[in-house]
Structure 1
């Protein structure tokens, strides 16, 4: 069974200076992961913990997440190789496709190219680039988004990567718009998050989008004493993904309200294993 933890699960530890990318690698190994799925803040130069918190809460305003230099990336890759964990999906904030102005789109595109280069150096398999834009597309906005994805997909393919879009914010919280985008750009994969849907759209999102998933985030918030998740039906989500033929890593994205972040990730992994088998 393939297991991963999106490093956003540890964003409070990162903000507090208690975890960096090297400790993330060690923690993933200790927790039994089979691959690494870092959020790009863990691969960025962070001067203040507040920057991490802001980036996590405002993914469309995370352009300050600037990647580290190539020598540093080589040391990160060596650390991962030493514990035998490959890189899976790099989750990128701040490089989304749609911006209102052409200048804004060019800036984001340059960031996307740089993060593609980072993912290539780490030997990752996928890179998440958000769609961006308002919750409801106009035809012009949709066309710009489609063209933008085709461009970054071409660059990523040369680097041996698949681009995935996540139901994350903006237009992709609507299931029909996720389906429309992926059907318009068949080379685009989906990072399916169990939680990030518009109000009342979760069940529809699961049922319509499960078949497109290449990467998943199983979102957890609160646990009972016996390890059940109180916020959503994680076993049902896992059964649906298994029935849909999902073959990727079972990715944890825990955002605990009470537990510490390491313990919440551990409980999430145990719940997934109990739900899948």
Structure 2
């Protein structure tokens, strides 16, 4: 038997439901704001920098001026800047290399932001088995070493793809890294190897190469992600067919030579946790290693808008640090 509800009561119940839903939503917002304020109070053992790749769509696809990077990073609660050289390709063509570096220095100083490092791509491969190509890569990187010094950065990140044959790769990369590190040492700049694919993501092989270079200014930049050793058809990017088996062990080993750290993230669950990476476990590894420098937020996901992904990554780092206090 159906019970008829008078229109007045039905209307009242509908309004009550809407008020209740609105009130519940407001309470959730207040709770989220309270949690955010609680996170803001955390005094972590590290400083926060923003990796410019987190905003690559903002600059490359949406057409936002890349000279606004310092301003955007400051607005989102960061102290340091990690540049990506390829984002400034068009500006360098229009204005010239020196003018771009000078401009970045001015805008970062005006924003009172610390320049941390430059991620260098497209300047050749320091692990190329061909010595002539390798030497050209060394020469191409020197201007970025100079730029890092001018900006007040401590490092540049380089690529070391070369070959997937360790017997060929180790002597080649050691030679390339030594030559560039020799030059960089005169500028007080570090040369950093990231786990960025191929043998650079095979941590024991990478660490052996860095040990053979045996220079104080040649170190590592452990990335929370980037664990693909081999991709389909031998490509540098694309479908991964083999990953390094233990990323947490890999991060711990890379931290022994680390001069920077990259907090990669892809997506988050309803509790704000990264869906593929155990952030509290990684942050504990970093703290236990004695590292106290900058951790760069590098959001690389597709679901969340870039600024939301950046904020989620930053909050998770701080929450993870708080859990260790």
1:122–1:66 CA distance, 2 compared to 1 (3 A): farther
TM-score (norm 2): 0.75
Q: Which residue of 2 aligns with 1:18?
A: 63
Q: How many residues align?
A: 259
How far apart are the structure 2 equivalents of 1:76 and 1:116? 15
Partner of 1:119: 148
1:168 aligns with 2:176: no
Distance in 2 between residues matched to 1:258 and 1:68, nearest whole Å: 36
Asked whether the equivalents of residues 128 and 163 of structure 2 are also in contact (C-alpha less than 8 Å), the reply is no
Q: Could you say which residue in structure 2 is the equivalent of 1:193?
A: 223
Partners of 1:68 and 1:190 in 2: CA distance: 30
Measured at CA, do residues 149 and 172 of structure 1 come closer, stay the same or move farther in structure 2, by a change above 3 Å? same
Q: CA deviation at 1:43?
A: 3.1
Instruction: Give the Cα–Cα distance (whole angstroms) in 2 for the partners of residues 177 and 91 of structure 1.
Output: 22
- Does 1:98 pair with 2:127? yes
CA distance in 1, matches of 2:96, 2:275: 38
Task: Give deviations 1:212-254, integer Å, cap 9, x for gaps.
Answer: 2211111101112221111111111111101111111111111
Alignment of 1:205-244 (within 5 A): 205-244=250-289
- Counterpart of 2:259 in 1: which secondary structure? strand
Kept in 2, the 8 Å contact 1:89–1:126? The answer is: yes
Shift of 1:66: 11
Q: Residues of 2 paired with 1:46 and 1:15: CA distance?
A: 12
Cα RMSD (Å): 2.0
Are residues 1:85 and 2:130 paired?
A: no
Aligned equivalents of 2:279 and 2:72: distance in 1?
23
Higher mean alpha-carbon deviation, 18-27 vs 213-222, is at 18-27
1:69 aligned to 2:69?
no
- C-alpha separation in 2, matches of 1:124 and 1:21: 18
How far apart, in 2, do the equivalents of 1:16 and 1:194 lie?
26
1:130 alignment partner in structure 2: 159
Q: What TM-score, normalized to structure 1?
A: 0.87
In the alignment, structure 2 segments of 5+ residues that lack a partner are 1-45, 229-242
Aligned equivalents of 2:197 and 2:120: distance in 1? 13
